[in-house]
Amino acid sequence: MNINEIVLLILSGVVVGIINTLAGGGSVISMSLFMAMGLPVGVANGTNRIAVVMQNLSASLTFLRKRMLDVRSGLKLSIPAVAGNIIGSMVAIEVSETIFRICMGAVLTVILVYMIFDNRKRHIHGGHRLALRWWHYVWFFAIGFYGGYIYIGLGYVILAVTIWSMHLDIITANVVKGFVIFVSTPFALAVFMINGQVDYGVGLLHGAGNVIGALLASHFAIGWGVRFVRIFTLFVVAMCFADLVGIISLNDIISAMI
């Protein structure tokens, strides 16, 4: 890697860390960058998990210190997510780029619709213990499977389930999201590592940026709110969707930067 690639990996990691901690969908940036740098889709998918683990560990520790994280509830939801994550990652080892891009397009469409039309006002509160029902475990098994398979857009899926089905405020939902992803993702990462689909240099550099972004976002979560991140993420997702349908080429843009 040259110096431009190193700087771009770290700086983009900061942006991804902020977006994923307060909202979700930042891995679209990571995957686009990795593939523009020449990583095959499977390796890019596996490498992304390093940054995911580092970012969500940092955010969860900060939320724990602020007493916004109920570890017991998080662990209960993590168990089915881990099972789904392992199965999903094993399937992802065989995924073709065509199928991957179809899934990415579907997720980006859902994210865009969600962000454009979901204008309900929500109050911001601290963390609290969750009242869990059996269907929440089914949801999180499915969430784990999707996270192991692709991961892109996983944050929005968890936010939708926790806010709409579990009636959580946006901050508590983000705390739960980060902890469950942190606990479950190492199992998927291990599957990719065993199959030789991880670029450690790229993953660790991008992960370092993710940690910085996650620390900033989790430290200022209540003060920042979600409006700025929502608008910025909408812009990023729209750009990635435009790339997917051929309106622009993120590969050309990122290649010019490196």
The 10s digit of each residue's pLDDT in 241-251 is 787 778 887 66
Residue 240 has pLDDT above 90, yes or no: no
Confidence of residue 124 (pLDDT cuts 50, 70, 90): very low
55 phi and psi, to 5 degrees? -65, -50
Average pLDDT, the chain: 82
Note the Cα 202 to chain centre separation in Å.
Answer: 17
Longest pairwise C-alpha distance within the chain: 51
Q: Is residue 120 predicted with pLDDT exceeding 60?
A: no
List Cβ neighbours of 75 (8 Å cut-off, separation of 6 or more): 183
Our CA angle for 241, 173, 105, nearest 5°, is 15
- pLDDT of 74 higher than 70: yes
The answer to whether 203 and 7 are in contact (CB under 8 A) is no
What are the tens digits of pLDDT across the range 17-41?
Answer: 988 887 777 787 898 889 888 898 8
Residue with tokens 């990795």: 34
Separation between Cα atoms, residue 256 and residue 104, nearest integer Å = 24
Q: What is the tens place of the pLDDT at every residue in 142-178?
A: 999 988 887 777 877 887 788 777 877 777 888 899 9
Residue 243 is predicted with a pLDDT of 76
The highest-confidence range among 31-35, 48-52, 112-116, 161-165, by mean pLDDT, is 48-52
What pLDDT is recorded for position 123? 46
